[in-house]
Amino acid sequence: MSSASRIVSSEAEELILVDADDDETGHLSKAACHDGNGVLHRAFSIFLFNDAGELLLQQRAMSKRLWPEYWSNSCCSHPRRGESMETATRRRLSDELNADAMLEFVYKFRYQANFGELGSEHELCHVYLGRLRNDVNANDEEIADVRFIAAQDVAAELSQQPDRYTPWFKLEWEALTEEYGDTLSVYSSA
């Protein structure tokens, strides 16, 4: 799958804490942000499509603290302290997928999801769509596997095997298809 293997994140990196309006309120380590029920912090999710209109899915690495080996959207992470969303999204596309894409911001939303006793996500998440400009070379420290799927097949997979997918991916895909279908169709069409 990949020839790329490098450590690109740590539990000690400082994330941006926000309020419900996405105004910055402070900073906290990634580990502390995900402990217990989580502390609200800024995040992003990216949905990348190839020229055939297929969505790139990633399977999270086994080493991930939360939702290891679950399938999810193309790329998701957090801006670090002092980092703009534009810088953060470019960094993570490179770090995780060795990929480049022009991104379009679509919407943002707040969610909280617990992963048993191991911690939680509690994020104000910015959602982006984009089209890949190059082949993907996934970093196996971050990603166990990648695959492309036709957009029309995503809903069927989510309904047949919902426990294989991250909670944020399911929420985001539902919003993209139900509320932002016109924007999604620009990327999911060949």
The enclosing H or E element of 174 equals helix 167-179
* CA distance linking residue 66 with residue 74, whole number of Å: 16
Quote the CA–CA distance of 187 and 169 in Å, as a whole number: 17
Catalytic residue of the set 75, 76, 121, 172: 76
Q: Which position among 96, 123, 142, 172 bears the catalytic label?
A: 123
The type of residue at 81 is R
Q: Is 82 exposed, middle or buried (0-12, 13-18, 19+ CB in 10 A)?
A: exposed
123 is catalytic: yes
Beta bridge partners of 29: 14
| Dihedral, 78, 41, 11, 174 alpha carbons, nearest 10 | -60
Q: How far apart, in whole angstroms, are the C-alpha atoms of residue 71 and residue 59?
A: 4
| Distance set, CA 143 to CA 16, 26, 116, 187 (Å) | 24, 29, 22, 23
The DSSP output letter for 29 is E
State the catalytic residues.
76, 123
